[in-house]
Structure 1
């Protein structure tokens, strides 16, 4: 095979361009501190990095949901605490008025305090978090509880305007991880503690109404007997609901820790694929630069050859 000057020149230029391309690639990696800057650099690696980026974004969205749910659950715990304190105070007042040492005038004063505690209890059950009522089921924008009164303004029970569909749990679902869902305990019907039926309702509202009636009429037997026993059941129900909410809170806290750990792992995996090893890349740059400069030096000898060199 005959090697011509033009062949040598062409081969030199191709090699020089190749070395320059390699040098430019390493320079870009050093300046950006990234292995790839566009998909054509390494399509498979770019695809893996994009998948990791999507996983990290999704994980951060889950973390946002978890934090919001923890705040929601904390607010519920505060509401349960306030409700328990109100019912405990009502229990104390029932116990005080259920003796013959208290006259009817005193019972009317106690009645006024009980009515105030009922309003406080209702306010606690109507607690709002971030524009959402915490005990209204799925109807989060609807105020769940209101005091029901007759024409004379006397309390007759509690109205509930939250989720009433018998086929629904009334709890608010939240997705906290891939394929993992948790339900916030937002069903206010549980707080009413229904024990009767449609014909003879017996719940928190009717109990409070019976307390008001007994205080008005001076029914010591009811105050010291049935009503005192019923208030303990209502307090126990609130405590039970609070315990269930505590279990949800603990699960959310565990999910938060797991999410943080997963996010760190994903960030580490992305860094391994996306970020360069600075020392290693600088050594590669030095080698590519040396190769390019050597090509230039050799090129000056090849291209400087003329016909006089052969005479």
Structure 2
């Protein structure tokens, strides 16, 4: 049984083929302009799923990188403040050794006492350091100045812990409190208490007591040295975590590029080939769709 092909059906077939060719060219043009193989889910359902998973990973990595950057800023500032405090303590030790020497006059000790008083303020200023709008030595009381200027040495912050997420399920403490470093005065044996005690002994010209104060100062130095070591270890962990996240980001971006990306040279060749085929199809369609004698007789 023969199948009769009408002019109308042939025209519809030719037009449909032309539209399909146009769609292929449009898709290839979009791939070339975006340099991406997948521009909508219908382009590749499985590839789209893999790309979405990669983008989710990259978003998580970026969030952790921001957290580490914030933590690094805080830890770096803490380390700098501790270094400044340590320098002050070494100067105080030099002055105390000088004051404990019997050859130093009462006037000399008064001058030393005055300088140490200034150094106490320097230590407090270091502990009142802010990163952004937050006091970094105040615990979770980040809006409260840890130490007041003047003779009162009471710590005004709290003992709260500040932590940052540095990876999936990994949290790291990134703060040190003023109480850990300087104490709160009032006979607690920590740095501020030691400095005030040295001042009192200077006022009394008690050289024997000043010699004993050196041991307390050395103990305070050891305490701050231990805190500095902790801060250094924290910085190392932050650096290592950032390095791992950078590696993860690089690997994930490679996966994303492999899934979504195109070979631009190949895509341009395809576009040229499709355009040539389309032009040839147009010429063929022009011949096929020419009006017949019967069309004129209708």
Shared fold (TM-score, shorter chain, > 0.5):
yes
Q: Which range moved further: 239-248 or 174-183?
A: 174-183
| 1:287 aligned onto 2:273 | yes
How far apart, in 1, do the equivalents of 2:101 and 2:201 lie? 13
Q: Which residue does 2:155 correspond to in 1? A: 160
Q: What's the offset of the Cα at 1:305?
A: 6.7
| 1:304 aligned onto 2:284 | no
Q: Which residue does 1:214 correspond to in 2? A: 201
Show CA shifts across 1:47-73 (max 9, x none).
Answer: 433443343343233323323322322
Q: Which residue does 1:20 correspond to in 2? A: 22
What are the residue-to-residue correspondences of 1:3-152 with 2, within 5 Å? Answer: 3-5=4-6, 6-146=8-148, 149=151
Q: What's the offset of the Cα at 1:137?
A: 1.1
Q: What's the offset of the Cα at 1:148?
A: 6.5
Maintained 8 Å contact 1:147/1:159: no
Q: Which residue does 1:171 correspond to in 2? A: 161
How far apart, in 2, do the equivalents of 1:217 and 1:231 lie? 19
Q: Which residue does 2:170 correspond to in 1? A: 180
How far apart, in 2, do the equivalents of 1:268 and 1:209 lie? 60
How far apart, in 2, do the equivalents of 1:275 and 1:287 lie? 20
Q: What's the offset of the Cα at 1:307?
A: 5.3
Q: What's the offset of the Cα at 1:94?
A: 1.5
Q: TM-score, normalised by structure 1?
A: 0.83
Q: Which range moved further: 210-219 or 59-68?
A: 59-68
Q: What's the offset of the Cα at 1:115?
A: 0.8
How far apart, in 2, do the equivalents of 1:48 and 1:283 lie? 27
Q: Equivalent of 2:179, from 186, 189, 196?
A: 189
Maintained 8 Å contact 2:120/2:192: no
Maintained 8 Å contact 2:183/2:192: no
SS of the aligned residue for 2:253 comes to helix
Show CA shifts across 1:97-125 (max 9, x none).
Answer: 22322233322222111111111111111
How far apart, in 1, do the equivalents of 2:192 and 2:283 lie? 96
Q: What's the offset of the Cα at 1:233?
A: 0.4
Q: What's the offset of the Cα at 1:7?
A: 3.0
How far apart, in 2, do the equivalents of 1:308 and 1:124 lie? 100
Maintained 8 Å contact 1:158/1:204: no
Maintained 8 Å contact 2:146/2:157: yes
Q: Output the aligned Cα RMSD.
A: 2.6
Give the count of matched residue pairs.
293
Maintained 8 Å contact 2:121/2:150: no
Q: What's the offset of the Cα at 1:15?
A: 2.2
How far apart, in 1, do the equivalents of 2:119 and 2:225 lie? 18
| Structure 1 segments unaligned to the other structure (5+ residues) | 150-156, 165-169
